[in-house]
Amino acid sequence: MDRRDFLKALGITATVTGAGAFLAACNANEQSGGGGAVAVSSGGTLYILSDTTSQHLDPAKSQNLAITTISLIHRRLTAWKTAADGPATVVPDLATDTGRASADGKTWTYTLKDGLKMADGTPITSAEIKYGIERSFDSAFSGGLGYHKNLLAGGPDYKGPFKGGELASIETPDPKTIVFHLARPYGDWPWIASMPAFAPVPKGKGTDATYDTKPVASGPYQVESYQKGVQVKFVRNPNWDAKTDLARTGLPDAVVIQMGQDTGVVAKRLLASQGNDAFAFGSSFVNPAQLAQIRTNPAAKNQLVTSKSGALAYLALNTKRGPLANPKVRQAFQYAVDKTAYQVAAAGSADLAGPIATTLITEGIAGREVYDLYPAPPNGDVAKAKQLLAEAGFPNGIDNLDFPVSTANNDADKAQAIQAALQRAGIRTKLRPLDDEAWTTLVTGNDGNYDLTLGSWQPDFPSANANIEPLFGTSEIGNGGYNESRYSVPEVDALITEAQGTVDPAAAGKLWAKADKRIMQDSPVVPLIYTRNSFLHGAKVGNFAIGAFPAYPNYLQMGLAK
């Protein structure tokens, strides 16, 4: 997931775009546990303060992460369990286990738990899950995470249940069994089964746009009201059974999302914690300017929670363009970049921005190996960069590299810091400011008419698969893909295919780590930092914690003090 889509990840439809859309945060875990110190109990109303004006509740349209908003009302076959001291893990949700794979990794079978019901009383059977997935293929309900659409056999040509009948690669031999036939082996299918489209939908429901504001729920809550641009209110689903749910505590009686809130005002309200604001949290990151002030307020310490790290911020080098087609030139960039200057430009200081990055797989992902192929001081090694340029045939440096940058947020400041650092080594760039839509069209389009650009990425699910393929697979060049370096190496594509087809997570992890190092040998990107995210909550919100991955609070675990 490109970091500009973080609002979608939180279940919010407005998109903050640009490579720097995420705001940085303060020292990781300096507020140990944050709201976890508050003793919580069942009851009360939890308030979510959002600066956006709309919300997708239809699972087919959602790009929401499995620990945020939409999961309060929708369950799936699997779910995520997060922890501060280790990688996120996949756990059963509606299913009795995380899936049983065939020997070739192409067929996955799930058995549903007993006695499951939706909010309207509909029994949750394999038919409701099959229909919900099929419905996500219809163009009228598009926009959600769509990994399954290319993985399921026949998926690319399927038009959904209203135009194409049933999808043969999803079988329901009985009400408690669902079987998926994939086009190729895929070891991460249990993570795919945790995505929004795998939520059950009663057959015949969800045939028009109104389902996006009042879907039939399977989680602890159901939609009571949806006031566009103003507020969404969730109340208890009487058919939810906590004993069957490993991912959700369902502690509050109700959850209210207040939309259209000013982020600066939200921070002040939460710190004051007057009235209902004591039972609220902000869904947006605390911006660096406010964060600097908050850190000096001892009373705010237990209301600010910060991720250890987050998305990978990087400099993408177009491997198809001029001098950048030479690997040795690209390796020179690893030494020319001043990562400390980037940290300061991103958030004012190194500790606010996040730790320096050297790998492609982000922290909190199983199988990640720490290494540094290009060891250099944090502010770079200009002499080494010049040496590599000379060896590549550019003793006088390189001129006029096209450097498009989004005008959103402070991307221009970060790009200027990169530009100044590169110039020390004789790499001269021309910044090209673009509005965010134009920038996105350029870097994800088919032409690739640029030399370098800033990017950032946080995976859609807790697997190195979601780090590596979207940014470095040949299939992700152009056509809306985020392989911004236009990197295409058959050996790496083969490694990706092998790792994806490996069912054993430990074995797959070793392959992903191998791919990480193999890609970095070619230097298609310069890893810059792992960005940190900070969130504020009211004084009476507890169980407010950010795991090792993803860099968001787990909405499903929160509770309130009386």
Q: For residue range 66-95, list pLDDT tens digits in order.
A: 999 999 999 999 999 998 888 899 999 999
Asked whether residue 130 is assigned to any structural domain, the reply reads yes
DSSP letter (8 states) at residue 105: S
Residue 271 CA: distances (Å) to CA of 274, 281, 419: 9, 10, 38
In a domain, 246, yes or no: no
* pLDDT above 80: residue 30: no
pLDDT reported for residue 37: 72
Place of tokens 């060049």: 477
**Is the per-residue pLDDT at 321 higher than 90?**
yes
DSSP output for 173-219: EETTEEEEEBSS--TTHHHHTTSGGGS---TT---SGGGGTSPPP-S
Distance, in Å, from the CA atom of 91 to the CA atom of 99, rounded to the nearest integer, reads 10
pLDDT of residue 1: 59
Residue position matching structure tokens 């299939």? 475
Same-domain pairing of 205 and 336 = no
Sheet with 452-457, edge to edge strand ranges: 452-457, 312-317, 525-530
Q: How far apart are CA 374 and CA 142, in angstroms?
A: 42
Strands annotated E in 397-481 = 398-406, 427-434, 452-457
pLDDT band at 350 (very low <50, low <70, confident <90, very high): confident
Number of domains in the chain: 2
Is residue 550 reached through a cis peptide bond, with omega within 30 degrees of 0 on the bond before it? Answer: yes
User: Are both 327 and 180 inside the same structural domain?
Assistant: no
Domain presence at residue 87:
yes
Which domain-ending residue is among 213, 233, 266? 213
User: What are the tens digits of pLDDT across the range 419-450?
Assistant: 999 999 999 999 999 999 999 999 999 999 99
Q: Is the same domain home to 207 and 325?
A: no
Convert 85-103 to b/e letters by CB count within 10 Å (16 or more is b): eebbbbbbbbbeebbebee
Total-model pTM = 0.91
- Determine the Cα–Cα distance for residues 221 and 235; give it in Å rounded to an integer: 5
Domain that holds residue 91: 55-213
Are 191 and 335 contained in the same domain?
no
**Whether residue 320 sits in one domain with residue 205:** no
CATH of the domain at 102: 3.40.190.10
| pLDDT (tens digit per residue) in 223-265 | 999 999 999 999 999 999 999 999 999 999 999 999 999 988 9
CA distance 96 to 505: 19
- The number of beta carbons lying within 10 Å of the beta carbon of residue 302 is 18
* Cβ proximity of 129 and 77 under 8 Å: yes
pLDDT for 353: 87
Is there a single domain that holds both residue 318 and residue 208?
no
Any domain includes 177: yes
The reply to whether 1 falls in a domain is: no
Domain harbouring 458, CATH code: 3.10.105.10
Is 538 a domain residue? no
Q: Looking at the structure, do residues 200 and 341 belong to the same domain, yes or no? A: no
Pairing of strands 231-236, 254-258: antiparallel
At residue 361, does pLDDT exceed 60? yes
Q: Radius of gyration (Cα) for the chain, nearest Å? A: 23
Tell whether 60 is covered by a domain: yes
Please check whether residue 100 lies inside any domain of the structure.
yes
Residue with tokens 């020390």: 424
For 257-311, where are the alpha helices, taking DSSP H only? 263-272, 288-294
Which residues are within 8 A (CB) of 165 and not within 5 positions of it... i.e. 6 or more apart?
none
Q: How do residues 149-185 score in pLDDT, each as one tens digit?
A: 999 999 999 999 999 999 999 999 999 999 999 999 9
Q: Supply the mean pLDDT for the chain.
A: 91
Of 156, 183, 213, which residue constitutes the final position of a domain?
213
Give per-residue pLDDT as tens, 473-489: 999 999 999 999 999 99
Last residue of a domain, one of 166, 187, 213: 213
For the residues 362-376, what does the mean pLDDT come to? 94
Q: Between 379 and 353, where is the model more confident?
A: 379
32 vs 482: which has the higher pLDDT: 482
Is residue 320 domain-shared with residue 201, that is, in the same domain?
A: no
